[in-house]
Amino acid sequence: MTPEPRVPEIPRAPGANPLRFGYGTNGLADLRLDDALALLADLGYDGVGLTLDHMHLDPLASDLTARTRRVARRLDALGLDVTVETGARYVLDPRRKHGPSLLDADPADRARRVDLLIRAVRVAADLGANAVHCFSGITPAGTDTDTAWKRLAESLEPVLDAATANGVPLAVEPEPGHLLATLADFHRLRQTLGDPEHLGLTLDIGHCQCLEPLPPADCVRAAAPWLRHVQIEDMRRGIHEHLPFGDGDIDFPPVLAALAASGYKGLTVVELPRHSHAGPHQAELSLPFLHTAARQHTPPVAPPHGEPSATPAGSTP
């Protein structure tokens, strides 16, 4: 068994915003939802990234409203906050992973994804969720880039209308391999749509390590004004594979320090969708690692007047 990765404990810097950690239900897919929520509460998590899927809270169920009420009561009883995620692999189509998407050529297919996202917004409002997460999808074969961006913007307009009406931010995630893959792509969408108030960003820390030109801590600082949801896991440069903490290349203390300093108040959710077979074990290991890493980074100490500033070893200037 791989030992739990450890970092030395250092007291949290004064004035840092306390981070709140959650765990994604897409990494607990072998558990009943009630059992998954109870596990996270018992382990000390602050909340949950709830993926709407057939095995948990099915967004296509005929009694969705009643089911949502039961989940809301359960979350309240356990003291868990929630962000709604929409990355279920086969919830709309049993043969196409993440299909249909917002970019599909068939307007009826795009409308099915739009309907799912609007349902997610309503579920999020009923749960009192922080945000609704979504992504663009992969550009279909034979579709030029300009057409794909036009479809994405048009598809998201009714979703943003629903988000605005329900007071729930929509948090779009840059996803490697998708049309909207980077922070720069997010800003292209934001500007195309006229910078709507309820359009925000899901930042996946592993994705920053995978393909962004900036280090993950700098990505956090650059993205701070638009952050509505954060996902976190380890990852290696150039390889889109979600890894348990310690198995990749990310230096987490500077990342968490940047996140705390940004003023972000939402959940930071562990995203290990391919580790459901060991979900309870990974959930148990992940929270102590994150708490310890969040205490490790010590910011520069302000020098006396007239002296140059210094950055302690191991911290990010």
8 Å CB contact between 244 and 275: yes
8 Å CB contact between 130 and 267: yes
Residue 16, pLDDT score:
57
Which residues, including other chains, have CB under 8 Å from residue 179's CB and lie 6 or more apart? 103, 136, 137, 138, 139, 145, 148, 149, 152, 185
For residue range 111-163, list pLDDT tens digits in order.
999 999 999 999 999 999 999 999 999 999 999 999 999 999 999 999 999 99
8 Å CB contact between 17 and 9: no
Which sign, positive or negative, has the C-alpha torsion 68, 69, 74, 78? positive
Beta bridge partners of 243: 234
Q: Give me the chain's average pLDDT, please.
A: 90
Compute the distance between CA of residue 225 and CA of residue 208 in angstroms, rounded to an integer.
Answer: 17
For the chain, the helix, strand and coil percentages under 3-state DSSP, each to the nearest 5: 40, 15, 45
For residue range 288-316, list pLDDT tens digits in order.
999 999 999 655 444 444 443 333 333 33
Which residues, including other chains, have CB under 8 Å from residue 204's CB and lie 6 or more apart? 173, 174, 175, 230, 231, 232, 233, 271
Cβ atoms < 10 Å from Cβ of 197: 9
Residue 299, pLDDT score:
53
Residue 202 pLDDT greater than 60, yes or no: yes
Residue 292, pLDDT score:
97
Nearest to 283 by CA among 80, 52, 77: 80
For residue range 62-78, list pLDDT tens digits in order.
999 999 999 999 999 99
Residue 284, pLDDT score:
98
The helix/strand/coil state of 60 is coil
Residue 17, pLDDT score:
67
Residue 13 pLDDT greater than 60, yes or no: no
DSSP 283-299: HHHHHHHHHHHHHH--P
Residue 298, pLDDT score:
52
Tell me the average pLDDT across 8-18: 48
Compute the distance between CA of residue 159 and CA of residue 166 in angstroms, rounded to an integer.
Answer: 11
The helix/strand/coil state of 259 is helix
246 is written with which tokens? 């310690």
Better-predicted residue by pLDDT, 17 or 142: 142
Compute the distance between CA of residue 57 and CA of residue 67 in angstroms, rounded to an integer.
Answer: 7
Eight-state DSSP code of residue 27: G
Residue 220 pLDDT greater than 90, yes or no: yes
